[in-house]
Amino acid sequence: MTSSKANIMENINENSLAETFKKRKTTQEKCENSTSFAKNTIKIANKRVKLNDSNFELFIYIKVLLSAYKTLPNIIGYLDKLIEKRASSFIFTSTIYGSNNSTFSEMNHVIDLSERKDKLLNLFVMSENLISSLSGDEKRLAVMKWVKNLSAEEIAFSFGITERTVYRRILTIQKKLMKFLIDKNWTASFIRSQIGNEPWLEELYCKKLRDEKSNKTKVFKKNLQSKSSSSITS
């Protein structure tokens, strides 16, 4: 049975397969423009890195990768089963009816699913590497913050520290992870290409972007109020 399947796959018209790949198209969308953050800078491991559009995007993708870490294996496992089922169906149909438009359409669907799974697997490897790059306490805090989605108050209670200290440590971890990605040459454009058209990941990116903008606004207002209070006092 195994040799029969192999023969069927070998007999598939190579030109048709190449044409199938050629016709496939992918689209990428951006949910918001982060240009307003281009003037910011962050200090990373004793060197200053300009937080331009690309690096800011990378900054957000760190949060996306860690937040998706727990979900990715489940989706990859589901896609594996779906690919196996579709491939078996495709081979059976080819055996009975030979190669036709229907079988090539099914083959194209299997190719799509396989590429989708490979990209999600790349994202999982990246997120796993990000977590592994951290020390014990840093890793624990990162998992609590992004994987388990705990609040600063809950994290502070668990560590026996203040919320202010939690925020400082989160910032330190983000800088460290940013440097890790830059050193690995895992750019924002590469991560974006792996996310492709995964709606749930794009929505997660948009949510993290909105949260970051909201936090920036809160910090700005707080600083403005602090300055106003100082002026009145003086």
Cα–Cα distance for residue pair 226/42, rounded to 1 Å: 23
Cα–Cα distance for residue pair 170/119, rounded to 1 Å: 28
Quick check: is 79 in a domain?
Answer: no
Quick check: is 159 in a domain?
Answer: yes
Question: What is the band of 196 on the pLDDT scale with cuts at 50, 70, 90?
Answer: confident
Residue span of the structural domain in which 147 resides: 38-69+121-211
Cα–Cα distance for residue pair 48/34, rounded to 1 Å: 20
Quick check: is 55 in a domain?
Answer: yes
Quick check: is 221 in a domain?
Answer: no
Mean pLDDT across 196-220:
84
Average pLDDT of every residue of the chain: 75
pLDDT at 159: 95
Q: Which residue has the higher pLDDT, 91 or 72?
A: 72
Quick check: is 200 in a domain?
Answer: yes
Candidate ranges 5-9, 31-35, 209-213; pick with highest mean pLDDT: 209-213
Of 17-26, 58-67, 115-124, 148-157, give the lowest mean pLDDT range: 17-26
Question: Which residues neighbour 129 within 8 Å (Cβ) at sequence distance 6 or greater?
Answer: 180, 184
Flag whether the pTM goes above 0.85.
Answer: no
Cβ 86 vs Cβ 106: under 8 Å:
yes
Angle of helix 72-97 relative to helix 2-10, nearest 10 degrees, comes to 80
The answer to whether residue 100 scores a pLDDT higher than 90 is no
Quick check: is 60 in a domain?
Answer: yes
Cα–Cα distance for residue pair 229/231, rounded to 1 Å: 5
pLDDT one-digit tens code per residue, 172-183: 999 999 999 999
- Reading the block at residue 177, the tokens are 């992870």
Cβ 103 vs Cβ 94: under 8 Å:
yes
Name the domain count of the chain.
1
Cα–Cα distance for residue pair 53/40, rounded to 1 Å: 10
pLDDT one-digit tens code per residue, 41-64: 334 333 444 455 568 889 999 999
Quick check: is 227 in a domain?
Answer: no
Cα–Cα distance for residue pair 178/173, rounded to 1 Å: 8
CATH code, domain with 183 = 1.10.10
Residue 162: φ, ψ to 5°: -85, 160
User: H helices within the chain, ranges in order?
Assistant: 2-10, 14-23, 53-68, 72-97, 101-132, 136-142, 152-159, 163-184, 188-195, 199-233
Rounded to the nearest angstrom, the gap between the alpha carbon of residue 135 and the centroid of all alpha carbons in its chain is 22
Quick check: is 137 in a domain?
Answer: yes
From residue 90, give the alpha-carbon distance in Å to each of 51, 58, 80: 48, 39, 15
* Total Cβ atoms within 10 A of residue 155: 21
Q: Which residue has the higher pLDDT, 33 or 54?
A: 54
pLDDT at 106: 72
Q: What single-letter DSSP state applies at residue 134? A: S
